[in-house]
């Protein structure tokens, strides 16, 4: 007697969800024990049952797949997650893989591929395929960014200089930065406010994160 594994399905399109549900339950030893329209619904009930696997779409209303993965990671919840979606950009795949997904499949995959992905995750803890490896290799481990140039163009030289000083490991205050840049304290305030406004930031911490994420400063 083979144990039946419990699977949660998170997918907003009910038709698609029913399709996958049937597909999965026809495999024999899997049962879809819970279904959710979006990530919010999932995390609200995540402490109720104990799924062996969560299969989730990426584009969903209210709380999408990425946000859900972030939440799960933040709350240290480690049920394996298999992403099933149409979005297969390198950036998306890498982001998700970084937030801890165990496998990634296009919705267009065959039933057989889906089955082997599920099997693999449940037995070995993960499913690896070309999508992940290729995305990683193509990017040499770094996220893809066209945005970078755009951002650089939006910033003046002095703003970038300021940004680099903000990210210095010496942890300068704005006053020290003003000295280093040989301008007034308030001028530096201006650089900060300008960057805050342009990139919707609210704090020095935000500046640092923004600069690093967009590779505007060397690490």
Partner DNA sequence: TACTTTCAAGGTGTTAATTCCTTTTTAACA
Partner DNA sequence: TGTTAAAAAGGAATTAACACCTTGAAAGTA
**Which residue number, 85 or 214, has a Cβ lying nearer to its own copies?**
214
Instruction: State how far the Cα of 11 lies from the Cα of 37, in Å rounded to an integer.
Output: 5
Partner from its own copies, DNA, none binding residue 99, C-beta < 5-8 Å depending on class: its own copies
Sign of the dihedral defined by the CA atoms of residues 99, 101, 107, 113, in that order: positive
Spatial neighbors of 180 by CB under 8 A, at least 6 apart, are 165, 172
Helical spans, DSSP H, in the chain: 14-25, 39-44, 65-74, 90-98, 111-124, 130-139, 147-154, 157-166, 174-181, 185-199, 204-213
Question: Does 212 sit near its own copies (CB under 8 A)?
Answer: yes
Among 5, 91, 158, 204, binds its own copies (CB under 8 A): 204
Question: Does 141 sit near its own copies (CB under 8 A)?
Answer: yes
In whole angstroms, how close is the CB of 99 to its own copies at the nearest point? Answer: 6
DSSP 8-class letter at 31? E
Partner from DNA, its own copies, none binding residue 192, C-beta < 5-8 Å depending on class: DNA
Among 8, 97, 162, 191, binds its own copies (CB under 8 A): 97
Instruction: State how far the Cα of 20 lies from the Cα of 74, in Å rounded to an integer.
Output: 28
Interface residues with DNA (CB under 7 A) are 156, 158, 173-175, 183-187, 189-194, 196, 202-206
Question: Does 198 sit near its own copies (CB under 8 A)?
Answer: no
Question: Does 197 sit near its own copies (CB under 8 A)?
Answer: no
Backbone angles phi and psi of 103, in degrees to 5:
-170, 160
Binding residues for its own copies (CB under 8 A): 73-74, 76, 97-100, 102, 125-126, 128-130, 132-134, 136-137, 140-141, 143, 161, 164-167, 169, 171, 201-206, 208-209, 212-213, 218-219
């Amino acid at each position: 007697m083979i144990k039946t594994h419990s699977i949660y399905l998170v997918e907003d399109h009910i038709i698609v969800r029913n399709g996958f549900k049937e597909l999965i339950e026809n495999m024999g030893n899997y049962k879809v024990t819970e279904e959710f329209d979006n990530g919010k619904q999932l995390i609200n009930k995540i402490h109720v049952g104990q799924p062996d696997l969560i299969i989730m779409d990426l584009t969903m209303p209210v709380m999408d797949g990425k946000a859900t993965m972030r939440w799960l990671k933040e709350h240290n919840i480690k049920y394996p997650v298999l992403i099933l979606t149409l979005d297969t950009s390198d950036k998306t795949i890498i982001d998700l893989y970084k937030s801890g997904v165990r496998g990634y499949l296009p919705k267009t995959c065959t039933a057989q591929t889906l089955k082997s992905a599920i099997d693999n995750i449940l037995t070995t803890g993960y499913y690896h395929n070309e999508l992940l490896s290729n995305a990683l290799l193509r990017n040499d481990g770094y996220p893809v960014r066209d945005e970078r140039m755009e951002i650089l163009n939006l910033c003046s030289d002095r703003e970038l200089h300021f940004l680099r000083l903000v990210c210095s490991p010496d942890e300068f205050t704005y006053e020290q930065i003003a000295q280093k840049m040989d301008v007034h304290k308030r001028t530096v305030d201006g650089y900060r406010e300008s960057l805050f406004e342009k990139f919707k930031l609210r704090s020095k911490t935000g500046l640092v994160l923004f600069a690093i994420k967009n590779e505007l400063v060397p690490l």
